[in-house]
Amino acid sequence: MSLGNGRPYLAIPGPSVMPDRVLAAMHRAAPNIYGGPLHEMTASVVADLRRVARTTAHVAIYIANGHGAWEAANANLFSRGDRALVAINGRFGEGWAASAERLGVAVERLDFGRRAPAEPSRIAEALAADRTGGIRAVLVTHVDTASSVRNDIAAIRRAMDATGHPALLAVDAIASLGCDPLHMDEWGIDVLVSASQKGLMVPPGLGFVWISDRALERCRGSDLRTPYWDWGPRADPAEYWQHFCGTAPTHHLYGLREALTMLLDEEGLEAAWARHRALAGAVWAAFDAWGREGGIALNVVDPGHRGFSVTAARIGGGGAGRLRDWCEAEAGVTLGIGLGMAEPGSAAYGDFLRVAHMGHVNAHMTLGALAVMEAGMRALAIPHGPGALDAAAAAIA
């Protein structure tokens, strides 16, 4: 007998849980794409994308996932032979570096491991050593979706400024937008990338790039851009179709319009940040209690370096993999794989998992997922400390 029948809960770090209101907004006939309400709605979406990133920057929307948003940023930031400095502390920092490299960009990697944030001083040292100013941009994840490490973007910007180096700062906020505090203009971010399927609660399919005036001007001559990826017409379209280099992603836009209304006008962005912080705290409290016995531990030791949207953890002896299988088959809860923490097929691959608490998630969903995980640990005889659910409830209370 399985207790997994009923509505499943996808507690993975994207695609996240989609509100019924978002799905309902998308469930409609195709609109006129040549004028009228769709054009007006798109203008309101662009304005609210600025609000959610706390910026007055230009916005380019792509029919793409997060990898597409990386490529859009790379294709406009760089010319062939340009150099990029990439701070890496997870699979997605490495992925962005590899994306740039495959386009012909010379990439210098600063690897900070998988459990700690980037050190601004090391970034500054690398820039100071670049006496010719050949590094066009520094690429860094705000929260790496795989490791759950959160980088201090404001501190990185200050360190960059102190060197006097002209490099642009490009930030991946795919896992953090709408979940963790993020201030594009205040933090001095030149290029920001994100996507629809995580904190914005919309199905995968939309990638976003925000571009500062400085970045737009500095990158006008970049020769990697192609007609589709060129952010110029998208950021300042003379005609509506140029927003998307063709037909608009109409139904994604309807869903995004509803999601932004929920996030910005009903809950409020700062309240959403606080909700994500509280739900993350409940997950951390549970793992702290479980970790008093057995090989259970959070990936990031310092709470100040953890993202609020997803938590990466280790349950040794293959316990994480067995627990993931049990939770999905027996209780209808799907947890994330430990992406990039060990090679697939290796003995350690089954030791890692991720618990997402991003987007359309509330207290009973997070507490329920934790209760299911404890039930699975008991069913599978995975050693764990007591009191995890009490600790999580206390954190919520």
Closest CA to 103 of 87, 120, 84, 88: 84
- 345 — pLDDT class (breaks 50, 70, 90): confident
Task: Give the pLDDT confidence score for residue 347 in this predicted structure.
Answer: 85
What pLDDT is recorded for position 150? 98
Share of the chain above pLDDT 70, in %: 100
Residue 61: name the closest of 196, 259, 198 by CA: 196
Nearest Cα to 199, choosing from 152, 142, 156, 263? 263
Q: For the purposes of burial, counting CB atoms within 10 Å of the CB of 159, is it exposed (0-12), middle (13-18) or buried (19 or more)?
A: buried
Q: Structure pTM?
A: 0.97
294 band by pLDDT with thresholds 50, 70 and 90 = confident
Q: What angle is formed at CA 236 by the lines to CA 257 and CA 217, rounded to 5 degrees?
A: 125
Determine the length of the chain. 397
Return the structure tokens found at 352: 């890692």
For residue 179, pLDDT beyond 90: yes
Report pLDDT for 280: 98
Is residue 184 over pLDDT 90?
yes
Which class for 301: exposed (0-12), middle (13-18), buried (19 or more C-beta within 10 A)? exposed
Confidence of residue 353 (pLDDT cuts 50, 70, 90): very high
Q: Is the pLDDT of residue 37 over 90?
A: yes
Model confidence at 293, in pLDDT bands (50, 70, 90)?
confident
Question: What interhelical angle do 363-379 and 388-396 show, nearest 10?
Answer: 170
